[in-house]
Amino acid sequence: MHMLEVQNPWWIGEPDRDWELFEKLTYRVRPKWLDELSLRPFSLNFVVGPRRVGKTMGIKLLIRELLKKVHTPYAVFYFSCDVLEDYKELLEVLNEYLRLKRRKSVKTAFIFLDEVSLVDDWWRALKFLIDRGELRSDVITVTGSISLTVGRHFETFGGRRGNGKTIEVMPLSFYEHYNLFYDEFFPSMGEEVFENYIETGGYLAYMNGTLKVEELVGFLKADLKALDRSTDLARDVMGAILDKAPSPTSFNAIAKVVGISPHTARDYVELFEAFHVLLQVLYLGGDGKVYPRKERKLILRDPLIVRAMELWTRRRIDKAVLYEWLVQEHLYRKFGEVYYYRNSYEVDAIAGNLKVEVKSGERRGRYPRDVRILKGPEVPGFLYNLT
C-alpha cells in the first residue's frame, strides 16, 4: 500500500510534487490535448508521444482539476509504471487499488497508468480486468512513449475501449511556442521567436532547463534496446536519411549506403516513425493517387529532435531543410496527412487544399497558380496561421 500512497499524496491531503514544480517553471502551459480525453465512463484512453513532451505533467494537471470535482480524493489513482517489471506486478497494483476503491465506496474512478509501455505485456493485466467487468464504471488513461509497443496492442482492445480516445502528444507547434511570449502575431516578433523555436523546438522541458539535447539521444537508444534493435545500425540509418535530406529517397538507397537489406532499412525507418522522431512523406501523383512504391521524403518532426540527431550522427542540417520540414510537419498536424509532388517542378508539401513550395533562395522556375511559394521570412507567419 505504501507504494500507492507515495504516488497519490492527495489521498492524505498533501500536494503533488509536480504541481509545485509546475508553478515554478518559467515557461508553462496547460496542454490542449487534455480536453480531447474522454472522461465519461467507461473509457480506455491512450496517450502516446515521445518522452519529455509533457505527458506526465499534463496528466498531473488534469488530476488537480479532477480532485476539485470528485467526492473523495480516492477516486483519482495515478501510478508511474516504470517501477514495475511485468504485467503480473501491474495486475497486483491495480487489484490493490480496486480493493481500496471498494472500501472507500468509490463508484467511478479515474485511473492513470503512466509510461505503461515500459512494462512487459502490460496489456494483459488491463485486458483481464476489463473482461471481468472490474473497470466498467471507470475511466482509464494509459500513457506510453514506445508507441510501437502500444500500437501493436490497440487491436487487442477492440470493442473494449468504450468512449476512449487515442491522443498523440507532440512537442509544441510554432503557434503554441509563440503564444508563450505574445498574444498577437507581429511579423517582426514572429521572426525573432521563430529563431528561438529553431533552437529549442517545442520541448518546454528544454526551454525550462530540465532537459539536455543529448538526453533525447539517450531515450531513443534506450527505446531501441528495449525492442532488441541495434543502436549502431539505427545511427547509420539516421545518418543516411540526413545525408539525403531534403531529397526523396528509398529503402533500397538507405540499405545500399548502410550495407543492410531493404527490409531492415524499412524496419528502422518505421521504428523512428513509431518513436515520433520521423515522418514519411509519400509521393502524390498528378492523378491524385498516392504512390507508396515511389521514393519518399523522410522528415524529422521537431527542431530539437533535429539537433539531437545531428549530435548522434555527427551531421549538420541546413536551415533551409529545417524550414521545409517544419512546413511539412505543421501541415501534417493540421490535416493528418502530407504528400509531395515532383515533375518539371517540385511541391514540397500537399495537404488539404494547400500546395506549398518552400524556397530559401530566389524563386526559380514557373509554378502553377495554386502552388504557394514560401520564402524563408514568410515561414513563421504561415506556420502561425495554420492553427
Domain spans of the chain?
Answer: 2-168, 174-386
Mean pLDDT of 333-344: 94
Residue 159 binned pLDDT confidence (cut-offs 50, 70, 90): confident
Q: 2-168 is classed in which CATH architecture?
A: 3-Layer(aba) Sandwich (3.40)
Cell numbers describing residue 7: 504516488
Q: What pLDDT is stored for residue 345 in this prediction? A: 86
Mean pLDDT of the 173-197 span: 96
Q: How far is residue 115's CA from residue 118's CA, in Å, rounded to a whole number?
A: 6
What would the mean pLDDT of 216-238 be, rounded to a whole number?
94
Q: How confident is the model at residue 153 (pLDDT cuts 50, 70, 90)?
A: low
Q: What is the pLDDT of residue 343?
A: 87
Judge whether residue 150 has pLDDT over 60.
no
Percent of the chain with pLDDT over 90: 84
Q: Strand 43-48 to strand 139-144: parallel, antiparallel, or no bridges (unpaired)?
A: parallel
What is the pTM assigned to this prediction?
Answer: 0.92
pLDDT single digits (tens) 353-372:
999 999 865 555 678 889 99
Q: Give the pLDDT score at 359.
A: 86
CA 176/CA 184 separation, integer angstroms:
12
CATH of domain 174-386: 1.10.10.10
* Burial call 303-313: b when 16+ CB within 10 Å, e when fewer: bbbbbbbbebb
pLDDT at 114 over 60: yes
Query: What does pLDDT average to over the chain?
Result: 93
Residue 164 has pLDDT above 70, yes or no: yes
